[in-house]
Amino acid sequence: MSRQGIGGEAAALASDVFLRVAAPPFRVGPGSYLSLMPVLEACDVHKTYTRGDREVAAVRGVTLSLEAGEHVALVGPSGCGKSTLLHLCGAMDRPSRGQVSVEGQSLAPLDDDQLTRLRRRRIGFVFQFFNLLPTLTVRQNIGLPLVLDGCPDADVAARTAIVAESVRLTDRLEHYPAELSGGEAQRAAIARAVIHEPAVLIADEPTGNLDSENGARVLEVLLDLNRRFGTALLMATHDAGLASRSDRILRMRDGRETPES
């Protein structure tokens, strides 16, 4: 992997390869003219696992959709199926029944290689634990999705510089994960999740491993990127305060969607 700095050539490319991050010319979000179809749809999805001689229903007939720029919070007690539903929506697992679509493309007919490409290019993931590679610098961790997708070094450098600035990590790019605070590590993970401009950002308890101050900062970063990128954000959380900042709340219990109390 290239360790090059951000030279003049790379900086000149920034406006071309990441223009809408730096200066979006129009609002992208729910109700905008770009929201002609949901970017994420799950229709009557079920997921059943076999445990020994019995079947465990983790998700039972959940239906949801997200438009570009929309933020939906997924809430419910531990074990209610939130993480399983996120894995189904993020193409990390296949439903036992029902259908998931991303930008109008059903995931059902895609083979494993096609699902990998879809995740790499159109879906971003942020987890409770940061999952940064300890032997790579922050710069290299952030740029890794583009490197794996074969992007030129100059494009990787330019995009990395812009997303690092967006999450306020420009001065930490040459550090390693062990040298970061928890909040900085999660911001690096968020930058990595959005560097490829995904249509959908899946966040599973992104502040669950942070103190309240760093959790609030990470939430602001997520919401800012959600607005600036026009990326649909589906976030599971136990935090009622975080959920209240969303456009909609989907409540789950025992694998099913439940009405608001």
Per-residue confidence in pLDDT tens, the chain, 261 aa: 443 433 333 333 333 434 333 333 333 444 443 456 799 999 999 999 988 888 899 999 999 999 999 999 999 999 999 999 999 999 999 999 999 999 999 999 999 999 999 999 999 999 888 889 999 999 999 999 999 999 999 999 999 999 999 888 999 999 999 999 988 998 999 999 999 989 999 999 888 878 888 788 888 888 888 887 789 999 999 888 889 999 999 999 999 999 864
Which domains does the chain possess? 8-258 (3.40.50.300)
Comparing C-alpha atoms, which of 177, 175, 193, 174 is closest to residue 133?
177
List the Cα angle 227/162/216 in 5-degree steps: 50
> Which DSSP category does 163 fall into?
H
Please give the Cα distance from 254 to 261 (Å, whole number).
16
pLDDT of 174-197, one tens digit each?
999 999 998 899 899 999 999 998
> Which DSSP category does 177 fall into?
G
> Which DSSP category does 233 fall into?
E
